[in-house]
Chains A and B, each alone.
Chain A
Amino acid sequence: MSAVATGPVATGRNLGARIVDVFTSPKSGPVLVTGVLFLLMFAVGGVRYRGFLSGQVFLNLFIDNAYLIVLAIGMTFVILTGGIDLSVGAVVALSTIIAARLLQAGWSPGVVILLILAITSALGLLVGLMIHVFEVQPFIATLAAMFLARGLCYIIAKESITIDNPFFVSMANVRIPLGYRLSITPSVIIALLALAVAVWVLQYTRFGRTTYAIGGSEQSGMLMGLPTSRTKVLVYVISGFCSGLAGVLYAFYTLSGYALTAVGTELDAIAAVVIGGTLLTGGYGFVLGSALGVLVLGLIQTILSFEGSLSSWWTKIFIGALLLVFIILQKVLTSRRT
């Protein structure tokens, strides 16, 4: 704390110092580490395995994880406010099962999708109100929502229902060519659109900035006249909506509805958000980082599948280890600042 008027430290600082600054900022540090990690993993994969360094391997990351990207978007909003949403996996399952059941009953796909989005948003609204009005901890409120959603799944259908609706089947099978024998699915486009909207909302709207403000200090945000109450409820609505949308994409992907599907997906979503550089205590993070986090998770799986002999448990262990590294990284970066 030197004199105020002596001018900024910024004048004439060199590039190296600036790079160090960017990497040690709690805002951009973790996400940059993730980016570097992603590139490293891709490079290592490319060196080790034949056919790894192909565009389609990269695009498959999106195809296989489109629903997870959408989930991570909603989770980012929630975690940015310092909350958490444990219900997303169960809500995905609920969405798939509603879709399967109603399509089985002959409903039109458009109506089904809209209904799912309405139901899951409403569930998010209930959770948000419980958290804001009744001051229930997010962890517990979303836990209740998780129980409710899973329970409803079982009530609707115990067994797995196959979806044979032509629209859903076509969404699962259509490939949109990108040239050079590369292609993506419509789900990828939906996920990327959702991502674009989320980026815009978080960066360019007062609602988005208030989301960050709540994570920084809810009280300060309130004293600054920002709409913290409304925002705090809305992030859970968004998370509910994203879970519903992710559920629809998941139904496109698996063409079935099943009560026991997507168990533990909430952990994947949380891990993606954290690895993507969003602070679990809220206030810092980017939704693009979360998407990058999803890609890192996807890449781990891809590498393991290329490795062949390694099995799925390594995924969990790697994810846990990455979580640990990033949580400690966050701790170090934020404690330096305060």
Chain B
Amino acid sequence: MRNTLIQALSHRLFWPLALLVILLTVNVIAVPGFLAITINNEGHLFGSVIDILRNGAPTLIIAVGMTLVIATRGIDLSVGSVCAIAGAVACSIILGSPNPGDPGVVTVAVLTALALSLVVGLWNGFLVSVLGIQPIIATLILMTAGRGIAMLITEGQILTVDSAPFKFLGSGFLAGVPVATVVAAAILGLVALLTRRTALGLLIESVGINPEASRQAGVRARGLLFTVYAVCAVLAGIAGLILTSNQTAADANNTGLFIELDAILAVVIGGTALSGGRYSLTGTLVGALVIQTLVTTVYTVGIPPIATMVFKAAVVTAVCLLQSPTTSAALARRRTAGPASPRPVATPEPAVTR
């Protein structure tokens, strides 16, 4: 019994899940019917939980890509801009066509947007893996220029589209479930399958944990980096389309603003370390849900919604301090410095000399 408790406590998903449960509990206390899911007369599921799942979908989709990038010791700051670009491209194509409601037009728009996202991802991958520029710096370039490109596409306008097939993506329902949720779930499943059923996940983790050992084992990091940045950008494109469709407008300035931060936060809360290595897509799922639930909680509890950021700051700080080597060293000292070992632990790393 005690052992299972300890095991549960030390599980990497324990704290994120506990946080999620706490947030949900707060909501249930504030709004007793919070967890209720109803089916309306159109056969669609409704309820706060469904809202969380739908509104959290874009963050989750990006966070999935971000997880892979972070696992390789990288980071992608440009995803917010990619969202804006994808939305802008899709909307301007749809608006430019004589028949915005035609599913064919929407398909072309969506595919073009995703193709452009892919190009952005390959560009990031090129800067990181071929030119060897630090990921944070390499992706900063498109974080800055990307919104400019999006505005260039929309010519500075907010492009409002009225296209039923396009609207379906962000606010439609599929078998009663919001389309965005379905897409997010499908992507999560697909990426999990792709990385865990092939050797992609193993090689990504290997490069993230020990690049030199991986190189000596014959792992080709360059191709992997291209892959993860490309995947991340395409997923950001999809998220951007969902956001744009949900707002029925492409706003180059605000679509996906700060979403890179939420996505990174989701990954970190989910237990994937920013220093790379082992990653957990399940953890990322929990992390994304925590963030979206946090936003919802702030609403339901009646705190001014814009104060969410203060809570996010608190969460980031708490997670970082918990993951900090200083903290774990302090904890380890507590654990080992029982009465048996009075000697202070002054333990520099033994020098590794070649």
Contact = CB atoms under 8 A, between A and B. Distances in A.
User: Are A and B in direct contact (Cβ within 8 Å)?
Assistant: yes
Interface of A: 84, 130, 133-137, 139-141, 143-148, 150-152, 154-155, 158, 259, 263, 267, 270-271, 280-281, 311-321, 323-324, 327-328, 331, 335
B304 interface: yes
Contacts of B140: 267, 270, 323
B170 to A, nearest CB: 24
26 contacts: A134-B320, A134-B324, A135-B324, A137-B274, A147-B313, A148-B309, A148-B314, A150-B309, A151-B310, A152-B310, A154-B306, A155-B307, A270-B140, A313-B152, A315-B148, A317-B148, A317-B152, A319-B144, A323-B144, A323-B145, A324-B145, A327-B137, A328-B133, A331-B131, A331-B132, A335-B132
A155 B148 contact: no
A53 to B, nearest CB: 27
Contacts of A259: 306
Given A145-B313, A154-B309, A321 B320 contact: no
Contacts of A145: 313
Contact of A141 (B148, B261, B320, B327): B320
B203 interface: no
A148 B313 CA distance: 5
B252 interface: yes
A320 B136 contact: no
Contacts of A263: 257
A158 B303 CA distance: 13
B304 A271 contact: no
B145 A319 contact: yes
B136 A151 contact: no
A84 B140 CA distance: 12
Which applies to chain A's interface (DSSP): helix, strand, loop or mixed? helix
A312 B156 contact: yes
A323 B316 contact: no
Interface in B279-330: 304, 306-314, 316-317, 320-321, 324-327
Given A144-B320, A270-B140, A317-B148, A151 B313 contact: yes
Task: Give the size range of B's interface with the partner.
Answer: 35 or more
B49 interface: no
A327 B133 contact: yes
Contacts of A137: 274
A137 B123 CA distance: 25
Contact of B304 (A155, A315, A335): A155
Contact of B327 (A134, A146, A155, A316): A134
- Among A136, A270, A315, find the residue whose CB has the most chain B CB atoms closer than 10 A: A136
Contacts of B307: 151, 154-155
Contacts of B150: 313
Contacts of A151: 306-313
B21 interface: no
B134 interface: yes
Nearest to B320: A136
B309 A147 contact: yes
- Among B142, B152, B309, B312, find the residue whose CB has the most chain A CB atoms closer than 10 A: B309
Contact of B136 (A84, A135, A271): A84
B141 interface: yes
